[in-house]
Amino acid sequence: MKPAQFDYERPSSVAEALDLLRREDLFVKVLAGGQSLGPMLNLRLVQPDLLVDITGIPELKRAEPDSDGITLGACITNADIEDGRAPDVTGGVLPAIARGIAYRAVRNRGTIGGSLSHADPSADWVSGLAALGAEAIIRGGPQGDSGRRTLPIEDYMVGVFEAALEPGEILEAVRIPRLSARARWGYYKICRKTGEFAHAIGAVLYDPERSVCRAVIGATESTPLVVADAAFLFGDRPSDNLAATYDTAAAARLLDRKGMTDPFERQVHLAALRRAVDRASLQ
Amino acid sequence: MTVKGVGGRLIRKEDDRYMRGRGQFIADVRLAGMKDVAFVRSPVAHAQIRGIDIPDTLRHAVFTAGDTDIKPIRAVSGLAGFKVSEQPPLATGKVRQVGELVAMCLAGTRAEAEDIAAAVSLDLEELPAVSDMLEGRKPGAPLLHESWGDNIFLETLVDADLSATARTAPIRVTREIRTARQSMAPMEGKGVVAYWDSRLEQLTVYSSTQMPHIVRTGLSGCLGLDHGRIRVIAPDVGGGFGYKGILSPEEVCVCWLAIKSGLPVRWIEDRREHLIAGTNCREHHYLITGYADRDGKLLGIDCEATVDSGAYSAYPFSACLEAAQVASILPGPYDFPAYRCKTYSVATNKCPILPYRGVARTGVCFAMELLIDAIAREAGLEPHEVRLKNLVRPEQMPFDNITKKHFDSGDYPECLRRAVAAIDLPAVRDRQKRGEPDGRLIGVGVSIFCEQAAHGTSVYSGWGIPMVPGHEQATARVTPDGGLELRVGIQSHGQGLETTLAQVAHQVLGIDPEKISVVHGDTGYTPYSTGTWGSRCMVMAGGAVTRACQEIARRAARIGAWLMQTDEAKVTVRDGMVVGPSGSVTLGEIAKVWYLRPQDLPNDADPGGLETTAGYKPVRDSGTFSYAAHATVVAVDTEIGAVEILDYVIVEDGGVLVNPMIVDGQVYGGTAQGIGTALYEEMPFDEAGQPLASTFADYLLPGPTEVPELRIIHMETPSPYTEFGVKGIGEGGAIGPPAAIANAVNDALRLLGAELCVSPMTPRRIVDAIAAVKESGARRAAGDAA
Ligand SMILES: Cc1cc2nc3c(=O)[nH]c(=O)nc-3n(C[C@H](O)[C@H](O)[C@H](O)COP(=O)(O)OP(=O)(O)OC[C@H]3O[C@@H](n4cnc5c(N)ncnc54)[C@H](O)[C@@H]3O)c2cc1C
C-alpha cells in the first residue's frame, strides 16, 4: 500500500497552481489535506504524475465575513471551523457539523474544499452546506487565471466522487450566507461509531426572515437530495415548531423520486430527516 | 510495604519503553542493505493458474513457486477422517482464496516492489467459488481440493440418543445461530525480516510472532533446514490475539528469499493484506435444540455446528481447532444429562480460519447463552434463574461434565448472582416498565461461561492438534551482582509477562522485580516452547519460573549455609537473602562468591551454580477453568437499529491473581473485542468469494467511544492444580460480550416479538428483524381476515 511514484509541487499562488493544472502532458491532481486523496494514492486507486499541494496558497486560507455571509477559502480546515478560527455566521451550524466529522487528527488537516471536491456522498459538507444554501466559487477554466464561476453547492457535486470541475479549474472558496437571528436549523447524522462517515444525513434550515426553508436528505447512494423550497414538507405552513406540521409521507415521496427502494435505507433516511426537524423545532 | 510478588499491583515494567515510543517492533528493525518484498496476490477466490507473465526486464526480481523448492505448509489433525490440505506458500496450479500468494517481488523499497508487482500479470481461469460453508457442505458444490471428493476437512460426532428426551421434554427450543467471519485486527500487522548470517551459518528471522519456536519448527520443515540453522526472534509485538500464532506463507517465502539472495529481506504486512488475505476467524453456524423442564432445568442439547475453515489448514493449529473444540465445550458451565453434537469443518474459498482470542468459546457461548435465554422466554422465567438451575454447583467441584471436561474449582452460581446484583435487575425491570423519554427500548442480558486455559498435553493430543504442548521450561540465572535473568520460550505482547514472571520470581527469591529481567521471544536464548496462546503463560511459564527459582533457592541456601558456617537445614531464603540462625547473606553476596570468588567455596560445591533450567506441568494437564458472568444493559433505537451500552458488569474468577491490574487490562481489552464481535466487526464476502471489507472504513472496530466504562468484580478461587492457584484469564473478556449483548438486545425487543440470533447485530439486522415480525404479523392478520 504505497503510492506509485509522483512529483510534488507546492505553489504559493492560485495562478501558479492553475499553471500546473493546465499541463496536458501530465495527469495532475490537486492535494489539499490529503485525508481522502492520501488513502487513494496508497491504494493506487489514483496514480497521478504530479501532485499540486494547494495548502501553501494564502488566498485559499482566507475567511472573510461580510454583512451577507462569509467566504471561506477552500483550504480552511474542519478544525479551523470547529475551533472558530473561521468566524461563524450560521448560529453554530458550521462548527456543529465540523465537530462531527471524523476524528480530530483528520479534522486538523481535512479541508472544506477537499471534502466538497472529493464528492463522497456520505460526507458531511456536501449535505450540510447544501442545506445552508451555500455556493461553490470555482476559479480558472477557459478565461484563465482570473476566470470565476459560481455554482450552488448541490450542483457542484455531480455524481459519486465527481465534482463539477472542468480541466484547469479548482475550487477556490465557498460562500455561505449569514443566517438571521430567527433562523432554526437541525442536522442529524446517523453513523455507527464516532467519527465514521454517515449512513444517513438529515438537514433542515428554516429562516423565515430570509424566506428560506430548505431540507436535505444525504448520505444516499449518490448526490444528496436537496429541497430548496421545503415548505411542502411542512404542509406549506412551516413555523418555529416545524415538527408540528412535518409530513413524513411527503418526505417518503421524495425518496420514491430518488429511486430509494430498500426499506431499511428508506427508514433510516426518513428517521434522519425527521430527527433533524425535531432538533430544529421550538417545542 | 508494597506487595511485589504474587498479588501485587505493580506498574508494568515494559510500559516505560512502550509509553515513550521506545519499543522495537518489526517495522523498526532496519538492517544494512535490506530489501523489501511485495507480493502478487490472487485477485479471485478460485481459479486455475494458466500463466504468470513477468516482463523480461523484471524477471530477476520476481519469484514464483517454480523458482523455489519450498515445501507446502501442512497442518494435519490427528483426528480420524481428517482430510489433508497442502498450502504451497506460493500458489501452484490453483489459487483458492483472494489474496493467496502467487509471486514475490523484491526491490529496494516497498513502493518499488509494488511497482514490480503491478507489472506482473496473471492468466487465471476462474472457477466457481465456495463462499458459504453451508453451500460448501452440499453435494455438488465446487471442490477446493479435488482429491477429497467433498469440501469437508473433518466431521466429528459426540453421539447420544435424545429421542426419549425429545418425546417427553415439556420445552423444546430450536435456534439457527450464526457468527460472522472476523479479523483479529491487532494494532500491528504481521511482518518478517530475515537474513542469512554467514558467520553462524544461520538464518536469522525477526518475526512478529507469538510463538518463535513453533515458527522455527515450521520453517525447518518448509525450507528443509536444520533447526540449528534457524534462529527466530520476536521483537516487540504489537498484539497478536491468535493471528501471530501461525506460520504464515509470507514468513516462509521471505526466509527462502533471504537465503537465496543473501540479502536482508523484509515484508511488512499492510492493512489491506491483513484484512483480505491474513486475518480471518470466528465464522460459525449452529443449529441447536435445547430441551428443558417447565422450571427451566435443562434435559438435553442437540446441536449441529459448522465452522467455515477457509481454504487451508493453518499451521500449527489446523483447520479443526475450532470445530473440534466446539463439540467438547458447548455444554459450557452447565450440568445436564443428554448431549449430542455433530460438527463440520468446511473448506471454503476464503482465507484459512485462524485462532482468535476466545477460540471457539466465543461462538459456543453465543450459541448456548442465546439458547438459554430462548428457553427462559419459553418458560416465562428470568434468564438468570434458568442458568442458576443448571450451573455446576460449588459442592460438585472438582467436576467432570458431560464431555469429561474437568472443572477444577469455583462457585459459578455465586458469580452469576453477583453479576445480577451489580447490574440491579429489579431497577432495570422497573425502568423498562416506565419506558424511555426518547422512545428507545431498554434490555438487560447476561452470559456466563468458562474459559479452559493452559490446557496441556492430553487435551491437545485429544483434539488432534498437530502441536502438542508438553512441559514448559524456564531458565533462571542469578547474575554476579545479585540480579536475576529469566529465560522463557513464550512471547509477551501485551500480557505484561515481563512484569508478572518477575513477580513470581520475587515471590520465591525475594529479589526486587526491578533487578529481574525476563528474556523471551528468541529461540537463540530460550528453552523450546509452544509459545503464547490459550491463556497458558501465567500458569505454564509462571510455573516453570517458580520451579527454576525454587531450585536456585536451594542452591543459594547451600552456599549461604556454608558461608555462615551453619547447617543447610537451618537456613531459609527470603527477601533476597539466605537467613540463618545468627545472621544472613544476601543473594548478591552469594552470587559474588560463586562467580567472582570461587576460592571461598567448598570443594564439593554444587557445580550447577546459580543457573538452572526447570520444567513444569500442573498437577493435572486438563487445564484451569476461569469463569465469568457478564451482565449488561442496553438501549435499542428500534427506528435506526442503533444499540447503546448503558452499563456493563463483569464478575470474573481467574483464580489467584498475580497482578490484578494486569488482569483488569486483559479483561478490558478482551471485552472491547467482544463488543466488536457483538455489534461491529464483520468480514462479508460476495458470492464469488470476494472479501468486501478491505479497509477499516468497511471493517468497523469499536473505538474508545463505543466501549463503555466496564465494572469489574473479582472472585479468587484458587486452582488446586497450579503454582499459587493461578488460572489463565487472557481470553475471557472476548468470550462473554456477544452473548450478553445479544441477550440484552433480545430482551429489549421482546415486546415486539423480534429476536436476533446472529452477530454482529448491525442496524440493518435489527431493523430487519423488527420488520420481519411486523410483516408476519400483517400476513397473519390478513390470513385471519380471509
Ligand atoms: C478516518 C477518516 C474519517 C473521515 N470521516 C469523515 C466524516 O465523518 N465526514 C466527512 O465529511 N468526511 C470524513 N472524512 C473525509 C475528510 O473530511 C477529508 O478531509 C475530506 O474528504 C477531504 O479533504 P482533504 O482536504 O483532505 O482533501 P484531499 O484528500 O487532499 O483531496 C480530496 C480530493 O479533492 C480534490 N481537491 C482538494 N481540494 C481541491 C480544490 N480546492 N479544488 C479542486 N479539487 C480539490 C483532490 O484532488 C482530491 O481528489 C474522513 C476521512 C478519514 C481519513
Cβ within 8 Å, pair B115-A5: yes
Give the pLDDT confidence of A209-249 residue by residue, as tens digits.
999 999 999 999 999 999 999 999 999 999 999 999 999 99
Q: With respect to residue B537, please indicate whether it lies within any of the assigned structural domains.
A: yes
Domain with A79 in it? 58-177
Does residue B491 share a domain with residue B426? no
| Per-residue cell: B321 | 481447532
Domain boundary among B616, B632, B657: B616
Name all residues whose Cβ lies below 6 A of ligand 1: A 29-37, 54, 74, 101-102, 106, 109-111, 113-115, 117-118, 123-125, 165, 170-171, 195, 197
Does residue B634 share a domain with residue B553? no
Q: CB neighbours of A109 closer than 8 A, spacing ≥ 6?
A: A33, A34, A35, A77
CA dist., res. B429 & res. B739, Å (int): 19
> Could you give phi then psi for residue B636, rounded to 5 degrees?
-110, 125
What does the pLDDT average to over B286-304? 98
| Per-residue cell: A18 | 492553475
Domain boundary among B616, B640, B672: B616
The pLDDT of residue B207: 98
The pLDDT of residue B569: 95
Going by pLDDT thresholds of 50, 70 and 90, the confidence category of residue B259 is very high
List of long-range contacts for B193-197, beta carbons under 8 Å, 24+ apart? B193/B26, B193/B29, B193/B31, B193/B34, B193/B254, B193/B264, B193/B265, B193/B266, B194/B254, B194/B255, B194/B257, B194/B258, B194/B264, B194/B265, B194/B266, B195/B31, B195/B34, B195/B258, B195/B263, B195/B264, B195/B265, B196/B258, B196/B259, B196/B262
The pLDDT of residue B2: 64
Q: Which residue of B has its CA nearest to A192?
A: B642
We report the CATH number of the domain holding residue B77 as: 3.90.1170.50
Does residue B588 share a domain with residue B504? yes
Cα–ligand 1 centroid distance for A7 (angstroms):
20
Residue B402 in this model has a pLDDT that exceeds 80: yes
The pLDDT of residue A282: 79
Cα–ligand 1 centroid distance for A173 (angstroms):
15
CA dist., res. B416 & res. B448, Å (int): 7
Atom of ligand 1 nearest to the CA of A189: 8
Q: Which residue of A has its CA nearest to B272?
A: A1
Mean pLDDT of chain B: 96
Helices B763-785 and B737-749: crossing angle, nearest 10°? 40
pTM of the model: 0.97
Residue B548 in this model has a pLDDT that exceeds 70: yes
Does residue A141 share a domain with residue A68? yes
Domain boundary among A128, A143, A177: A177
Cα–ligand 1 centroid distance for A146 (angstroms):
25
CA dist., res. B721 & res. B726, Å (int): 9
**Which of A13-22, A53-62, B427-436, B776-785 has the least mean pLDDT?**
B776-785
Chain B interface test: which of A6, A41, A118, A193 (most B C-beta within 10 Å): A193
Q: With respect to residue A2, please indicate whether it lies within any of the assigned structural domains.
A: no
Q: Do residues B488 and B501 make contact, with C-beta atoms less than 8 angstroms apart?
A: yes
Residue B739 in this model has a pLDDT that exceeds 70: yes
Distances from the Cα of B446 to the Cαs of A107, B18, B328, in angstroms?
39, 36, 22
Cβ within 8 Å, pair A268-B767: yes
The pLDDT of residue A69: 97
We report the CATH number of the domain holding residue A35 as: 3.30.43.10
With residue B519 as reference, give the H or E element that holds it.
Answer: strand B516-520
Q: CB neighbours of B260 closer than 8 A, spacing ≥ 6?
A: B63, B68
**Which of A142-146, B550-554, B681-685 has the least mean pLDDT?**
A142-146
Chain B interface test: which of A118, A192, A196, A277 (most B C-beta within 10 Å): A192
We report the CATH number of the domain holding residue A90 as: 3.30.465.10
Distances from the Cα of B208 to the Cαs of A178, B223, B247, in angstroms?
56, 19, 11
Does residue B439 share a domain with residue B495? no
Does residue B695 share a domain with residue B569? no
Q: Cβ contacts (< 8 Å) between A268 and chain B: which residues?
A: 639-641, 763, 767
Q: With respect to residue B68, please indicate whether it lies within any of the assigned structural domains.
A: yes
Atom of ligand 1 nearest to the CA of A165: 43
Does residue A236 share a domain with residue A170? no
What does the pLDDT average to over A42-71? 97
Going by pLDDT thresholds of 50, 70 and 90, the confidence category of residue B775 is confident
B118, B640, B771 ranked by CB distance to A271: nearest? B640
Q: With respect to residue A130, please indicate whether it lies within any of the assigned structural domains.
A: yes
B115, B700, B706 ranked by CB distance to A4: nearest? B115
Whether the upstream peptide bond of residue B469 has omega within 30° of 0, thus cis, is no
Cα–ligand 1 centroid distance for B700 (angstroms):
20
| Per-residue cell: B216 | 522455527
We report the CATH number of the domain holding residue B604 as: 3.30.365.10
Q: With respect to residue B200, please indicate whether it lies within any of the assigned structural domains.
A: yes
CA dist., res. A126 & res. A218, Å (int): 8
The pLDDT of residue B777: 84
Cβ within 8 Å, pair B271-A199: no
Is residue B665 exposed (0-12), middle (13-18) or buried (19+ Cβ within 10 Å)?
Answer: middle
Q: With respect to residue B699, please indicate whether it lies within any of the assigned structural domains.
A: yes
Q: Do residues B107 and B36 make contact, with C-beta atoms less than 8 angstroms apart?
A: yes
Q: Cβ contacts (< 8 Å) between A192 and chain B: which residues?
A: 642, 679-680, 700, 762-763
Give the pLDDT confidence of B470-502 residue by residue, as tens digits.
999 999 999 999 999 999 999 999 999 999 999
Q: Which of B654, B627, B758 is nearest to B329 (CA)?
A: B627
Does residue B506 share a domain with residue B391? no
Q: Do residues B156 and B326 make contact, with C-beta atoms less than 8 angstroms apart?
A: no
Q: CB neighbours of B674 closer than 8 A, spacing ≥ 6?
A: B358, B362, B733, B734, B735, B736, B737, B738
Q: Which residue of A has its CA nearest to B769?
A: A264
Residues from A in contact with B at Cβ < 8 Å: 1-5, 39, 43-44, 190, 192-197, 199-200, 263-264, 267-268, 271-272
With residue B626 as reference, give the H or E element that holds it.
Answer: strand B624-637
Does residue A191 share a domain with residue A155? no
Does residue B652 share a domain with residue B727? yes
Give the pLDDT confidence of B95-140 residue by residue, as tens digits.
999 999 999 999 999 999 999 999 999 999 999 999 999 999 999 9
The pLDDT of residue B783: 73
The pLDDT of residue B779: 81
Does residue B256 share a domain with residue B389? no
Residue B164 in this model has a pLDDT that exceeds 70: yes
Give the pLDDT confidence of B649-665 residue by residue, as tens digits.
999 999 999 999 999 99
Residue A23 in this model has a pLDDT that exceeds 80: yes
Q: Do residues B591 and B428 make contact, with C-beta atoms less than 8 angstroms apart?
A: no
Domain with B483 in it? 471-616
Does residue A23 share a domain with residue A65? no
ipTM of the modeled complex: 0.96
Q: With respect to residue B209, please indicate whether it lies within any of the assigned structural domains.
A: yes
Cα–ligand 1 centroid distance for B454 (angstroms):
49
Cβ within 8 Å, pair A2-B111: yes
Does residue A63 share a domain with residue A49? no
Residue B330 in this model has a pLDDT that exceeds 60: yes
Does residue A76 share a domain with residue A161? yes
Cα angle for residues B634, B639, B644 (degrees, 5° grid): 20
- β-pairing verdict for A50-53 and A7-9: parallel
We report the CATH number of the domain holding residue A214 as: 3.30.390.50
CA dist., res. B635 & res. B708, Å (int): 13
Mean pLDDT of chain A: 97
Going by pLDDT thresholds of 50, 70 and 90, the confidence category of residue B465 is confident
Q: With respect to residue A168, please indicate whether it lies within any of the assigned structural domains.
A: yes
Lay out the sheet containing B611-616: strands in order across.
B516-520, B484-488, B472-478, B611-616
Going by pLDDT thresholds of 50, 70 and 90, the confidence category of residue B786 is low
What does the pLDDT average to over B618-643? 97
Q: With respect to residue B465, please indicate whether it lies within any of the assigned structural domains.
A: no
Q: With respect to residue A1, please indicate whether it lies within any of the assigned structural domains.
A: no
What does the pLDDT average to over B663-688? 98
Tell me which DSSP letter residue B677 carries: I
Does residue B302 share a domain with residue B398? yes
Q: With respect to residue B462, please indicate whether it lies within any of the assigned structural domains.
A: no
Does residue B59 share a domain with residue B196? yes
Number of structural domains in chain B: 3
Cα–ligand 1 centroid distance for A156 (angstroms):
15
A193, A197, A272 ranked by CB distance to B703: nearest? A193
What does the pLDDT average to over B638-654? 98
Identify the sign of the CA torsion B645, B737, B245, B522: positive
Residues 666-725 of chain B with CB under 8 A from chain A are 679-680, 695, 697, 700, 702-703, 705-706
Does residue B115 share a domain with residue B49? yes
Does residue B405 share a domain with residue B542? no
Does residue A215 share a domain with residue A228? yes
Q: Which amino acid is at B385?
A: E
Tell me which DSSP letter residue B723 carries: G
Give the pLDDT confidence of A152-207 residue by residue, as tens digits.
999 999 999 999 999 999 999 999 999 999 999 999 999 999 989 999 999 999 99
The pLDDT of residue B778: 81
Q: With respect to residue B693, please indicate whether it lies within any of the assigned structural domains.
A: yes
B270, B272, B763 ranked by CB distance to A192: nearest? B763
Q: With respect to residue A70, please indicate whether it lies within any of the assigned structural domains.
A: yes
Cα–ligand 1 centroid distance for B268 (angstroms):
27
A15 to chain B, closest Cα gap in Å: 32
What percent of chain B lies above the pLDDT cut of 70? 99
Q: From A41, A112, A115, A187, give the residue whose CB has the most ligand 1 atoms within 8 Å, as the site to mutate.
A: A115
| B640 contacts chain A (CB < 8 A) | yes
Number of structural domains in chain A: 3
Domain boundary among B276, B300, B324: B276
A43, A200, A272 ranked by CB distance to B272: nearest? A43
